Amino acid sequence: MDINIEDILADLDRDTTAIDSGSAYLSSEHDTTRFSESNGDHKDVDRQVEVQKTSSHKTISAAADYECLVTHWRNERVAPELLAFPHLLMDRILHRLNNQIEHLENLSMGFLEHNFDKESKLPLLCMEAEVERLKFVVRSYVRCRLHKIDKFSLYLRQINQDRSNLESLNDLLSRQEMIYHERHSEILLKLFNNSILKHMPQELQAIDDTEGSVNMIDAPNWGKFVFLFVRGSPEGSSDPLQETNEDGQACYLVTIPELNEEVELTIGGIYVMRYHIIKHLLREDKVVLI
């Protein structure tokens, strides 16, 4: 007689690891990010964030944030449209980065004052390399977004003016990107106006003419093919979109409207697919672009 006691064992495991993981979480936070005086209030912020995120059951740690950032970065670089800006995540990451740089400076000062022989340079070196890497990812991410903002500036403006639209520009862009968007379109428009449009007849002076033979507003190429990896929901939680196919594998069903054909995206598979078909899955983090 086989009795499956895995759930009981898991329960026991959770009991013992509850303290462990908690303290590990705290200590790792101290190790990697070194909150100095702002320790208390930042924790509060973290808690609030955690409360907001309880629906998705995500624990907030530096490592998880980094994973999340890399996913955002990868998606942004592949997706044809501008994706929503992760405000909370970026706030946390920039805060940590700032703290870590300060901490590094303090440490290297300490090295100058009293040179211990036994203290090796290795941890310092690793931290520096790590900071450089994180900085690179953030830089690349932001630059990629700025490039897209330049490309779609008229389209974004149209979104902003369109009252019926669900997303406001505030969610899509960070505060600084808003400023960039506004100022850049302003000076670009000034250039065009001064050098060309001023000399044009009245009815041709618009920069965002949609009536003419060619639409002047560049919309993202929704039909672009992208590579995607189907990740599925994080744990075995119930997922309304998820279904089971004949082989018993979990999958998502999407429909290609042009062909009127249904496709199964099995979890763990890699597909090439038009972007607009998998847009809603990307929003909900079920797939990642590669």
Q: Which is nearer to other proteins, 13 or 218 (CB)?
A: 218
Q: Which is nearer to other proteins, 98 or 168 (CB)?
A: 98
135 touching other proteins, by CB under 8 A: yes
Q: Which is nearer to other proteins, 34 or 58 (CB)?
A: 34
CB of 227 to other proteins, least distance (A): 20
257: Cβ–Cβ under 8 A, 6 or more apart, which residues? Answer: 277
The encoded tokens of residue 250 equal: 């979990």
236 touching other proteins, by CB under 8 A: no
70 touching other proteins, by CB under 8 A: no
Contacts 24+ apart (CB under 8 A), 175-184: 177/85, 177/145, 177/146, 177/149, 180/146, 180/149, 181/149, 181/153, 181/156, 184/149, 184/150, 184/153
- Dihedrals φ, ψ of 225, to 5°? -80, 135
Q: Which is nearer to other proteins, 184 or 279 (CB)?
A: 184
47 touching other proteins, by CB under 8 A: no
66 touching other proteins, by CB under 8 A: no
Residues 125/111, Cβ–Cβ less than 8 Å: no
Site string for other proteins, 179-218 (x = CB under 8 A): xx--xx--xx-xxx-xxxx-xxx--x--x----xxx----
45 touching other proteins, by CB under 8 A: no
Rounded to the nearest 10 degrees, the angle between the axes of helix 87-113 and helix 39-53 is: 150
Write a three-state SS string for 126-179.
HHHHHHHHHHHHHHHHHHHHHHHHHHCHHHHHHHHHCCCCCCCHHHHCCHHHHH
Q: Which is nearer to other proteins, 64 or 126 (CB)?
A: 126
DSSP at 121: S
| Span interacting with other proteins, options 2-10, 143-151, 152-160, 250-258, rule CB under 8 A | 143-151
219 touching other proteins, by CB under 8 A: no
Q: Which of 45, 49, 101, 104 binds other proteins (CB under 8 A)?
A: 101
CB of 116 to other proteins, least distance (A): 21
The encoded tokens of residue 46 equal: 């973290």
